Amino acid sequence: MNGNNRFRQIHRWLSVAFTEAVIVNIIAVPRGKSTDWVGLLALLPPCLLMLIGL
C-alpha cells in the first residue's frame, strides 16, 4: 500500500468516525445529555479530515 492509499484510508475511516459523532450529538443534544466531551467528539475528526484532505 503506497502513501496515497494510506491517506485515503485514514480519510475514509475518519469520515465514518465523524458521521457517527454527529449522530451521537444529534441524539444527545436535544435530550440534554450532551457534555463537553460529546461535543469535542464531533470536532476532532473534521479537523483531522481537513488536514489530511488538504
Interface residues toward ligand HEM, by CB under 6 A? 8, 11-12, 15, 18-19, 46, 49-50, 53-54
Task: List CB contacts of 42: < 8 A, sequence separation 6 or more.
Answer: 18, 21, 22, 24, 25
| CB nearer to ligand HEM: pick between 27 and 53 | 53
Element (H, E) at 44: helix 44-53
CB closer to ligand HEM, 8 vs 33: 8
- The residue (of 18 and 41) whose beta carbon lies closer to ligand HEM is 18
